[in-house]
Structure 1
Amino acid sequence: MGEKTHAHPGAAGGVPAAGHPSDVRNVVLVGHSGSGKTTLVEALALTAGAVNRAGRVEDGATVSDHDEIERRRRRSVHLSLVPVAWDGRKVNLLDAPGYADFVGELRAGLRAADAALFVVSAAQAAESVAATTRAVWEECALVGMPRAIVVTHLDTARTSFEEMTRICAATFGGDDPDAVLPLYLPVLGPESADGHAPLTGLTGLLTQRILDYSSGERAELPPAPGQEAPLKEARDRLIEGIIAESEDESLMDRYLDGGGGSDIDIATLIADLERAVARGTFFPVLAAAPAAEGARQGIGTVELLELITRGFPTPLERTPPVVTTPSGEPEAAPVCDPEGPLLAEVVKTSSDPYAGRVSLVRVFSGTLRPDDTVHLCGHGLDAAGQAPRPCHEAEIRVTALSSPFGRQQHPVDRCVAGDLVCVARLGEAETGDTLSASGAPVLIEPWSTPDPLLPTAVRAHGKADEDKLSHGLARLVAEDPTLRLEQNPDTHQVVLWCLGEAHQEVALERLRSRYGVQVDAEPHRVALRETFGGRGPGAGGTSNSPAGTGSSRSARSRWSRCPRAAASSSWTRSSAVRCRASSSRRWRRAYGPRPPGACPPGTRSSTCASPSSTAGRTRWTPPTPRSRPPGRSPCARPRRTPVSSSWSRSARSPCWSPTTMWAR
C-alpha cells in the first residue's frame, strides 16, 4: 500500500471485465452534498486511464453526473456506476448523492457495495460530519462494512488536515479514537501573499517517503534532512494502532522490545493494516486534492486506488444477504461462487430513451449470461418501511448485458458473482426485485428506506397528458422505492408522496423530461374526519309555541367514539325522550294510542303511580308511524326517521317512557 510506485491502468475508454470475484472491488462514496465525491470519482477515473481528461461539475462534463437534471442542478441526484481498472482488478466506483432527500439512492449504493469511502471536505468541516453522515457511518458499523475517510479540498485556503483528522477521530472513532488515524500527511509549498500554502504532495508515514506532485507528475523522494522528527509522533501512533488491531500477538512484544518498532518489517505492518481495514476494525484517513492546480492527476488518487485494491475486501469476504422463499420460509443464502446457483438483486432501475428500462443488477452468486432464463420475484415493500407494492413473480429471459460508463453502455458477455452489470428490458423488474435460478426461486430481504412525508397533488396539464400520466407515475414509483403513489378517494386527487422539496422537484422534472408528461402541481387537500374523544352524556331541547298552545321537546343522549377502522362518517346513536304532557297529542298522531294502563309518554316520576300499580303492565311496541296527510304541517311528526321505537322502563322510575333511536 505504501511501497508501490505505480500500477497498471486500464486503457482510455476501455471497460474492464472481471473473471473472478477476487478481482472485483465494489466501493460506494458517501458524504455530504458538496464534499467533492463526483470530482474525486472523476480524478480516480483519470488516474486509472478510463478518461483522457477530467471533467468539472460546474461545466456539466463529469462521467457520473451524465443526466440532464444533474447537469442543470450541478449536483448528483442519482446513483451512478463508474468502473475502472487498477492493478489488474476491476474497481466499481458508486457515486451516491449526498443530499438527504435522495437517501434511497444512497441505500441502494450501500446494498451494492462491499466497502464505503467517506468523503469529508476540509473547507466545510461542520457540514461534512453532519448528522446524516454520522447516521450512515453507524449504519455501516452495524453490518460491519469496512470504511475509510478521505479529506478533500485541501488545496483551498484556510484548511487544516490536522484539524480535520481530530474531528473525524472524535466523530467516527467513538470509544476507540485511535482506530481513526492518517496514513499520509500533506506537504505544503511556500505561502503566497494571502498566506495560503498550496498542497504539493504527501508523506507516507509507514514508508517515510515523500510523494511529490509539484512538477505535475507523481514522484517519490526521500525525506529531507530534519523532517524525520516531526513525523515520528504521527508514525508511532499509526504503528501502535496497527499493532493493536493485529491478530499477531507477538508484534506488540517486538514493538516494545525494539524501541518503537524499528525492527518490524514495513511489509508486515502493511499486511496487518490491510487485514484490519478489510475486517472493519481500523479506519484510515487519507488526504486528497482531486482538482489541484498544476498536477496532471489529482493529488492522493494513486494512494487511494492502492488502498481500495489492497485494503478493501473482495466480494468473497462479504456476508451474504438474508434470503427467504417466496412464501416467507427462511432459506440458506448461497456463497459467492461463480459456479453456484444464481442469486442477484436489482439495486437500481432507470429509463433510457433508446434501450427502454435498464436495471442495474448486483450478482451475489452464480454467473449471469445473456439469453438465460431466470426467475424474477418481487415483494410488497411495506414490510421494510417502504411504500406497499404488489407482489409479482415471472420467468423471464435475460437480454443483452452491458457495463455502464456515463451515457455509454459497453456490451459484456457475462457477469460473475460479486460484479455489477446492466440489463435492458428485464420484464417488469423494479428496484429491489430478486433474480434467482429458474426452478429454485428465492427472495432477498429488501433494504429499508424512510417513509415519504411530503405530499404533492398532480394533475395532467391537458387532455393529451391524461392517458400518459398513470403510466409515467407508475414507472417513477418502480424506479424509486422512496416514492409513494396514492389515489385519494375522498378528495379525488392523485398524490405523489416524496421525501422533501428537492426530491419532489426532481420527480416532477423527470416526469416531464423523460416520459413527456406535462403535469401541474396543485395544493394537497386533506379530508378532515372528526370523532369524539371519549364517552359522555348530552342534553338539549327545542320549543314551538303556536297560538293558543305550547309545546317543547328535550333530548338526552349518550355519545361514544366509533372504531377508527369504521367508515368515514361516524354517527352515534341517541335516545330522545319527550318530557311534557303537551307532546302526547303529536305522539298519538305519529304512533297511535298507547295501551291501556300505561303511563302517559313523558310523565315525570313524581306524577306517576307507585311501583305496585305497574305490576300488570306489559311491554308494547308502537306500530309504524302513519304517513302525514297532504297539507299537514311537518311538525306533526319527528323530523328524522326513527330506526327503532319501543316502550322502555326507566331504571330510576317505574313509569314507561318512549325511547327512540334516531339516525341521521
Structure 2
Amino acid sequence: MANFDIKHIKNVVLVGHTGSGKTTLIESMLFEAGLINRRGSILEKNTVADYSDIEHEKGKSFFSKLVNTKWRGYKINLLDTPGYDDFAGEIIGAMRVADCGLMLLNASMGVEVGTDIIWEYANEYKLPILLAVNQLDNEKSDFDKTIQEAKDHFGQSVVIVQYPLNQGPEFDAIVDVLNMVLYKYPKNGGKPEKLPIPQTETEKANRLHQELIETIAGNDETLMELYFEKGELNEDEMKLGLHHSLIKHEIFPVFCVSAKKNMGSGRIMGFIDNVCPSAYEMPKQKTIDGKEIECSENGPTAIFIYKNLSEPHIGDLSFFKVLSGKIKVGDELTNENTGQVERINQIYEVEGSKRTAVNELTAGDIGATLKLKDTHINNTLHEKGKHIEITPIIFPNSTYSIAVEGTKKGEEEKLSMALHQLVEEDPTIRIEVSPELNQTIIHCHGELHLAIIKWKLEKQFKLSVEFRSPKIPYRETIQKSAEITYRHKKQSGGSGQFAEVAMKIEPWYEGMEEPKGYNIRGKEEINLAWGGKLIYYNCIVGGAIDTRFHPSIMKGIMEKMTKGPLTGSYVRDVRVILYDGKMHPVDSNDLAFKTAGMMAFKENFVKADPQLLEPFYHIKIQAPEELTGAIMSNIQTHRANVESMDAEGQFTLITAFLPFAEMQEFGSDLRSLTQGRARFTAKFDHYESVSFDMQKKLVSEFKKEEELV
C-alpha cells in the first residue's frame, strides 16, 4: 500500500441537490482512476458510494460516504453526501473535514434549492468550491441558463473554465478555455481526443479565456502586474492564481461533465490534483481556546472524529481526519473531551463498504478505526501530554418532533438502546424522554429524516414502533390574586391529622414590589426547572405554625405545581404568601401540613382566574423572493406573529414567533408550498396565553381523560 505525503493528499466533498449526479460522478472518477473496472449505477444498485440497503431500496443517498482513490501520484479522498436538507448533519460533517468542494449543478434544472442551502454551508466554512455542470447529455440541458443562475445566486466570481459543445443527447465535446483545447469524447465516454478548438468557437473561447484571465488577475496583485506587463497569463500562472483564489474562497471555476457517460471526470480529477489545495495549505484549524493547529506531519498527533457508523458483522466505526502528525496502529491517544485514553488497534482506508487495513495515516488524510470505547462525533484525540480540542461542528437545531413508542411489551430497553445508537451516528437527532408528557420524543429535521429513522428502527434494529404527535408542554399560571383558609382534619381512631393554613396567591412578574401589610419572616425564590418562578413568603407571626412544618407546606405546593388544576401541566410564575394558620398539639404532623398546603394552593389557584400558556418558538424562514407572499399568507393561518421580513440576496428572510402546536403542520405546508425551496430553523423562545376558546377545549379534554383513568 503506497504511502502519500501531506502534499499529495486531496480531500474533496461532492455536494449538490438530490439527483444532481454526485454518486454517479464518483463511479466515473473511480473508473477513470482504475479502482473499478466497471461503472455501477443507481438503478443497478451497485455503486461504490451507495451501498446501504435503504439507499438501494429508495435509489437516493441518505448518508455521507468516504471513497479514496489514487490518480497520477495523488490520493484523493472523495466524500459523497446526500442532497436533502433533512440530512444536513451528514453534509456539514463531510464539509468540515474536506479541503475542497465539488458542487454539481443539474444542467436541465439549474440552481435548485438544495444547492442554495449547501452554498450557505460552504460560505460558512469558506470552503474552496468547484462547480460542475452535469447531465449535459439531457435533452433539456441549458448550460447558459445554468451559468446565469449560478452567477445570480453565487456572485460574479463564478467563472467558466469549460463550456459544452453539442449539449443534449448528442453531447460529446467540451471546450476548455484554461488550456485552450477541445476534448472530443467517444460515443460511450472515456478518454477524449485533444483537438484544436474549431474555428466556429474561436471567438467565444478567446473571450471566455480573457474573462478567466481577468478574473484570476483581479484577485492577485502580483498576477495583475504581470498581466499588465505582458497582456497575457500563461497556463501555469493561471493555475497558480486559481489555486490561491480557491483557498481564499474568491473564485468558483465551472467545469462540464456527463457523469452518466463518463465525459469530463478525468479533467476534473486532473484539476483537483494540480490546482485544488491540500489540507496543509488551507487556513489552520482552530482550537476552542483560539489557538491554531499546524497541519504538519512533524506535529503532535491529533485526529478529529467527524462521523460514527454501526454496521452489521463489522461493529462500530469512527471516521476521522488527521489534523497533525501521524496516527499509527498501537498509538494510545487521549480524548480531550472525556479524558479517556483510547488505543488505536486498527486503521482503515475506506472505499465505500470496503475497508483496507493500513499501519498509519499522515496529517491531512481521512480514514476510519473500529469504534472507540468512549469517543463520539466532534471529539478530538491527541497524543498524551497535549491539550488540543478542535472547534466542534455546529449542527442545526431540529424542526420536527414526533413521539415514539414500542408496540411490544418488554422491548423498552431495546428501543432505548436503538435510539441511543441513532444519536451516536447522527447528532442532528435529539431524543427527549419527557416525564412531564410521559413520552419519548424524537427531534429531527423533517418527514424524510423521520422516514429513515423509522426504517432503521424496524429493519436494522428489528423493532415494532408507533409514532404519534407529541403532546404540547403547556404551562399554567394565574391572572389575579386569591386567598383562602384551608383546614385539613382527619380523625379515624388514635392520632388524627390536623393542619390549617391561611394562604394568598397572586401572579408574579419580574420587578414587582414586596407584599405590603404582612410581617415577612422569610422569603424563598425558586427558579423552577420547567421555567418561571415560585416566590414563597413566610409571614406567620406568634408561632401559629411551627417552623418545622414550613418545608412540608412548600412540598405540598410544589407537588401541585407539577400537575396544575387545568390540564395537569406545570404551574409557573406564582407568588405565595402564607400569613396564618393553626396547629394541634397531638394531631399536627408533616403529612397534614403537606396536604393542607397542596389543597389550599389548588383551591386558591382555581379562584385566581387561571390561565393556560402555550410554548412559542422563534423561527427564521429563508425562501426565494417570489414565494414570500404565499408564505406570509400561509403563516398567518398558523397563528404566527411575524417579527420582520428582510432581503438577503436572492432570498427573503422572515422571522416570526410560531406556536409549537402549529410547528409540524407549518413545516409540511412550507415544504409543499415551496416544493422544498424554503427552509426554516426554530428555537424555543417564550410562553403566551392561549385563547379563551382553546383553553376551554383543552380543559374539557383533560377532564375527560382523567375520568377514563
Which of 409, 412, 436 is the aligned partner of 1:463?
409
- Match of 1:27, SS state, is strand
Residues 521-550 of structure 1: CA deviation (Å, up to 9, x unaligned): 233223422224x6x45799xxxxxxxxxx
Residues 483-537 of structure 1: CA deviation (Å, up to 9, x unaligned): 11111112222222111111112122223333333333233223422224x6x45
Whether the 8 Å CA contact 1:349–1:479 is kept in 2: the answer is yes
Which of 212, 217, 229 is the aligned partner of 1:243?
217
Whether the 8 Å CA contact 2:4–2:74 is kept in 1: the answer is no
Distance in 2 between residues matched to 1:104 and 1:559, nearest whole Å: 46
TM-score by length of 2: 0.68
Say yes or no: does 1:500 pair with 2:449: no
For 2:101, the equivalent position in structure 1 comes to 116
Which of 243, 266, 275 is the aligned partner of 1:311?
275
Distance in 2 between residues matched to 1:415 and 1:278, nearest whole Å: 24
Greater alpha carbon shift after TM alignment, 80-89 vs 216-225: 216-225
By percentage of residues, which structure has more helix?
2
For 1:153, the equivalent position in structure 2 comes to 135
Whether the 8 Å CA contact 1:642–1:662 is kept in 2: the answer is no
Say yes or no: does 1:253 pair with 2:222: no
For 1:301, the equivalent position in structure 2 comes to 265
For 2:341, the equivalent position in structure 1 comes to 395
Whether the 8 Å CA contact 1:188–1:200 is kept in 2: the answer is yes
Distance in 2 between residues matched to 1:511 and 1:186, nearest whole Å: 46
Which of 286, 291, 295 is the aligned partner of 1:336?
295
1:166 counterpart letter in structure 2: Q
- Match of 2:49, SS state, is coil
Whether the 8 Å CA contact 1:23–1:314 is kept in 2: the answer is yes
Q: CA deviation at 1:98?
A: 1.1
Say yes or no: does 1:184 pair with 2:162: yes
Distance in 2 between residues matched to 1:98 and 1:476, nearest whole Å: 20
Say yes or no: does 1:525 pair with 2:471: yes
Residues 406-449 of structure 1: CA deviation (Å, up to 9, x unaligned): 22111111010100111013112211111111232422221111
Q: CA deviation at 1:623?
A: 5.6
2:166 counterpart letter in structure 1: L
Whether the 8 Å CA contact 1:375–1:394 is kept in 2: the answer is yes
Distance in 2 between residues matched to 1:468 and 1:362, nearest whole Å: 32
For 1:561, the equivalent position in structure 2 comes to 508
Alignment of 1:70-469 (within 5 A): 70-127=55-112, 130=113, 132-173=114-155, 177=156, 179-188=157-166, 198-216=170-188, 217-246=191-220, 247-255=222-230, 258=231, 261=232, 264-292=233-261, 298-324=262-288, 330=289, 332-378=291-337, 392-469=338-415
Q: CA deviation at 1:284?
A: 0.5
Greater alpha carbon shift after TM alignment, 465-474 vs 246-255: 246-255
For 2:663, the equivalent position in structure 1 comes to none
Change (3 A) 1:278 1:461: same
Greater alpha carbon shift after TM alignment, 399-408 vs 85-94: 399-408
Distance in 1 between residues matched to 2:580 and 2:422, nearest whole Å: 62
Distance in 2 between residues matched to 1:423 and 1:250, nearest whole Å: 49
2:152 counterpart letter in structure 1: A
Distance in 2 between residues matched to 1:136 and 1:212, nearest whole Å: 32
For 1:590, the equivalent position in structure 2 comes to none
Greater alpha carbon shift after TM alignment, 134-143 vs 71-80: 134-143
Alignment of 1:488-637 (within 5 A): 488-532=434-478, 536=480, 559-561=506-508, 565-566=527-528, 624=583
Residues 586-642 of structure 1: CA deviation (Å, up to 9, x unaligned): xxxxxxxxxxxxxxxxxxxxxxxxxxxxxxxxxx988658999xxxxxxxxxxx958
Distance in 2 between residues matched to 1:345 and 1:467, nearest whole Å: 31
Which of 7, 22, 34 is the aligned partner of 1:37?
22
Q: CA deviation at 1:165?
A: 1.3
Change (3 A) 1:571 1:444: closer
Calculate percent identity across the aligned residue pairs: 26
TM-score by length of 1: 0.72
Change (3 A) 1:464 1:122: same
Q: CA deviation at 1:224?
A: 3.0
Change (3 A) 1:484 1:369: same
Whether the 8 Å CA contact 1:45–1:51 is kept in 2: the answer is yes
Q: How many residues align?
A: 522
Distance in 1 between residues matched to 2:342 and 2:311, nearest whole Å: 20
- Match of 2:14, SS state, is strand
Distance in 2 between residues matched to 1:71 and 1:48, nearest whole Å: 25
Whether the 8 Å CA contact 2:348–2:355 is kept in 1: the answer is yes
Distance in 2 between residues matched to 1:539 and 1:229, nearest whole Å: 91
Change (3 A) 1:566 1:43: same
2:214 counterpart letter in structure 1: E
Greater alpha carbon shift after TM alignment, 394-403 vs 99-108: 394-403
- Match of 1:393, SS state, is coil
Q: CA deviation at 1:126?
A: 4.6
1:239 counterpart letter in structure 2: I
Change (3 A) 1:310 1:462: same
Which of 417, 420, 423 is the aligned partner of 1:477?
423
Q: CA deviation at 1:119?
A: 1.0
Distance in 1 between residues matched to 2:408 and 2:72, nearest whole Å: 56
- Match of 1:531, SS state, is strand
Whether the 8 Å CA contact 2:31–2:39 is kept in 1: the answer is yes
Whether the 8 Å CA contact 2:526–2:533 is kept in 1: the answer is no
RMSD: 3.2
Distance in 2 between residues matched to 1:141 and 1:19, nearest whole Å: 29
- Match of 1:472, SS state, is helix
Alignment of 1:54-73 (within 5 A): 54-73=39-58
Change (3 A) 1:114 1:520: same
Gaps of 5+ in 1: 1-15, 190-195, 293-297, 325-329, 379-391, 541-554, 575-619, 629-639, 646-660
Residues 114-144 of structure 1: CA deviation (Å, up to 9, x unaligned): 11111111111252xx2x5334324433443
Distance in 1 between residues matched to 2:581 and 2:19, nearest whole Å: 80
Greater alpha carbon shift after TM alignment, 79-88 vs 471-480: 471-480
Change (3 A) 1:318 1:487: same
- Match of 1:411, SS state, is strand
Q: CA deviation at 1:236?
A: 2.0
Greater alpha carbon shift after TM alignment, 467-476 vs 111-120: 467-476
2:507 counterpart letter in structure 1: S
Whether the 8 Å CA contact 1:60–1:71 is kept in 2: the answer is yes
Whether the 8 Å CA contact 2:309–2:317 is kept in 1: the answer is yes
Whether the 8 Å CA contact 1:188–1:199 is kept in 2: the answer is yes
Q: CA deviation at 1:91?
A: 0.5
Change (3 A) 1:206 1:371: closer
For 2:690, the equivalent position in structure 1 comes to none
Distance in 2 between residues matched to 1:663 and 1:281, nearest whole Å: 63
2:42 counterpart letter in structure 1: V
Gaps of 5+ in 2: 485-501, 510-524, 538-578, 588-594, 607-709
Residues 33-91 of structure 1: CA deviation (Å, up to 9, x unaligned): 11111111111111111111111112221111111111111111111011111120000
